[in-house]
Chain A
Amino acid sequence: MAVTEKAMHATNGHTSPPASKPADGYTIIGSRPVRPDGVDKVTGRAIYGADVRLQGLLYGKVLRSPHAHARILSIDTSKAEALPGVKAVVTGADLPTAADKVEDLGESAINLKYLSANILAHDKALYHGHAIAAVAAVDSHTAEEAIGFIEVKYEVLPPVMTVDDAMADNAPILLDGLRTDEMGEMGSKPTNLAKHFRHQQGDLAAGFAAAEVVVERTFRTETVHQGYIEPHTGTAQYNTDGQVTIWASTQGTFAVRNQTSEILRIPVSQIKVIPTEIGGGFGGKINVYLEPVAVLLSKKAGGKPVKLVMSRTEVLQATGPTSGSNIRIKIGADANGKITAAHAELYYEAGAFPGSPVGAAANVVLAPYAIDNLQVDGYDIVVNRPRSAAYRAPGGTNAAYATESVLNEIAEKLGIDQAHIRLINGAKQGDRRPDGVQHTEPIGLLETVQAIAESDHYNTPLTGKYQGRGIACGYWNNWGGKSSATAVLNADGTVSLNEASTDIGGSRASIAMQFAEAVGIGYEQVKPRVGDTDSVAYNDVTGGSRTTFSTGMAAHNMGVEMLSQMKERLADVWEVDAVEYADGEFSGGDNHISFQEAAALIYKTGEPLMVSSTVFPRSFGPGFSTQLADVEVDPETGKVTILRYTIAQDVGRAIHPSYVEGQMQGGVVQGIGWALNEEYIYNEKGQLLNGSLLDYRMPTALDLPMIETILVEVPYPGHPYGVRGVGEVNIVPPAGAIANAVANAIGSRMFELPMSPARVLEAMKE
Chain B
Amino acid sequence: MAVVWIPALIRPLTDGKSQVEVTGENVREIVEALEALYPGVAARIVEDDRIRPGLSVAVDGAVGNKGLLEPVGPESEVHFVPAMTGG
Chain A interface (Cβ < 8 Å from any Cβ of B): 102-104, 107-109, 182-185, 195-201, 226, 281-284, 286, 359-360, 362-363, 375, 378, 389-394, 435-441, 476-481, 543-546, 616, 618-619, 725, 727-728
> Please, could you name 8 A-B residue pairs with CB atoms under 8 Å apart, sorted by A?
A104-B53, A108-B83, A183-B10, A281-B87, A359-B83, A378-B82, A437-B81, A480-B65
Q: In the complex, which residues of chain A have a beta carbon less than 8 angstroms from the beta carbon of B53?
A: 102-104, 109
Given contacts A200-B18, A394-B87, A619-B61, contact A182 B82 (CB under 8 A): no
> In B54-87, which residues have CB < 8 Å from any A CB?
54, 58, 60-66, 77, 79, 81-87
Q: Are A618 and B62 in contact (CB under 8 A)?
A: yes
**Cβ-Cβ contact count across A and B, 8 Å cutoff:** 121
Interface pair B61/A185, CB less than 8 Å apart: no
Q: How far is the CA of A183 from the CA of B83 in the complex (A)?
A: 12
Question: Is residue B24 contacting chain A, with contact meaning CB distance below 8 A?
Answer: no
Q: Given A104-B53, A184-B44, A618-B63, verify A360-B5 contact (CB < 8 Å).
A: no
Complex CA distance for A438 and B75, rounded to whole angstroms: 14
CB-based nearest A residue for B41: A184
A550–chain B nearest beta-carbon distance, Å: 11
Q: Within 8 Å CB of B62, what residues of A?
A: 440, 618-619
Q: Contact check, B44 vs A185: say whether CB atoms are below 8 A apart.
A: yes
- A651 to B85 alpha-carbon distance, docked (Å): 18
By the criterion of a CB under 8 Å from any partner CB, how many residues of chain B are at the interface? Answer: 31
Contact B61 A441 (CB under 8 A): yes
> A182 near B9 (CB under 8 angstroms)?
yes
Q: Is the interface of A mostly helix, strand, loop or mixed?
A: loop
Smallest CB separation, A201 vs chain B (Å): 8
Chain A residue, CB-CB nearest to B59: A618
Asked whether, in the complex, the Cβ of B8 is within 8 Å of the Cβ of A362, the reply is no
What CA separation (Å) do A136 and B52 show in the bound complex?
Answer: 40
Could you tell me the distance between the alpha carbons of A196 and B82 in the complex, rounded to whole angstroms? 11
A-B pairs, 10 with minimum CB distance: A283-B87, A544-B86, A184-B44, A359-B82, A619-B62, A440-B61, A109-B53, A390-B87, A183-B9, A200-B8
Set of chain A residues within 8 Å of B43, measured between Cβ atoms: 184
Please give 16 more A-B residue pairs, beta carbons under 8 A apart, in addition to A183-B10, A616-B65: A108-B54, A184-B10, A184-B44, A184-B52, A198-B8, A200-B11, A201-B18, A226-B87, A393-B86, A393-B87, A435-B79, A435-B82, A543-B85, A544-B86, A618-B62, A619-B61
Whether the Cβ atoms of A391 and B82 lie closer than 8 Å is no
Shortest C-beta distance, A539 to chain B (Å), equals 14
Q: Which residues of B contact A (CB under 8 A)?
A: 5, 7-11, 18, 43-45, 47, 52-54, 58, 60-66, 77, 79, 81-87
> In the complex, which of the residues B47, B52, B63, B81 has the most CB atoms of chain A within 10 Å of its own CB atom?
B81
> Is the CB–CB distance between A437 and B61 below 8 Å?
yes
Chain A proximity of B79: nearest CB distance (Å): 5
- Whether B87 lies near A392 (C-beta < 8 A) is yes
Given A184-B45, A197-B82, A619-B63, A544–B87 Cβ distance below 8 Å? yes
B81 partner, pick from A184, A286, A436, A619, beta carbons under 8 A:
A436
Q: Given the known A-B contacts A198-B7, A200-B18, A359-B54, are A478 and B81 also in contact in the complex, defined by CB atoms under 8 Å?
A: no
Q: Are A618 and B65 in contact (CB under 8 A)?
A: yes
Report the Cα distance A438→B63, complex, angstroms.
11
Give the residue among B52, B82, B84, B87 with the most A Cβ atoms within 10 A.
Answer: B87
Given contacts A183-B9, A438-B61, A439-B61, contact A390 B86 (CB under 8 A): yes
Tell me the smallest distance from the CB of A390 to a CB of chain B, in Å.
4
In the complex, which of the residues A109, A196, A375 contacts B83, with contact meaning CB atoms closer than 8 Å?
A109
Q: What's the nearest-Cβ distance from chain A to residue B30, in Å?
A: 15
Note all chain A residues with C-beta closer than 8 A to B45.
184
Q: Which residues of B contact A437 (CB under 8 A)?
A: 58, 61, 63, 79, 81
- For the complex formed, measure the closest distance between the CB of A621 and the CB atoms of chain B, giving whole angstroms: 11
- The CA-CA distance from A108 to B55 in the complex, in Å, is 10
Q: What residue of chain B has the Cβ atom nearest to residue A284's Cβ?
A: B87
Is there contact, CB below 8 Å, between B82 and A436? no
Given A183-B44, A199-B8, A436-B79, decide whether A107 and B85 contact each other with a Cβ distance below 8 A. yes
- Whether B84 contacts A183 by the Cβ 8 Å rule is no
Asked whether B85 lies within 8 Å of A102 as measured between CB atoms, the reply is: no
Question: A728 contacts B52, CB within 8 Å?
Answer: no
Q: Among the interface residues B66, B79, B85, which one has the most CB atoms of the partner chain A within 10 A?
A: B85
Q: Which residue of the partner chain B has the closest CB to A106?
A: B85
- In angstroms, Cα B85 to Cα A336, docked, is 36
Bound-complex Cα distance A102 to B18 (A)? 28
CB neighbours of A545 from chain B (8 A): 86
In Å, the complex CA distance between A226 and B85 comes to: 16
Q: Closest chain B residue to A617 by CB distance?
A: B65
Residues of B within 8 A of A477 (CB): 84, 86
B61-A391 in contact (CB<8A): no
Residue of B nearest to A200 (CB): B8
Residues of B within 8 A of A283 (CB): 86-87
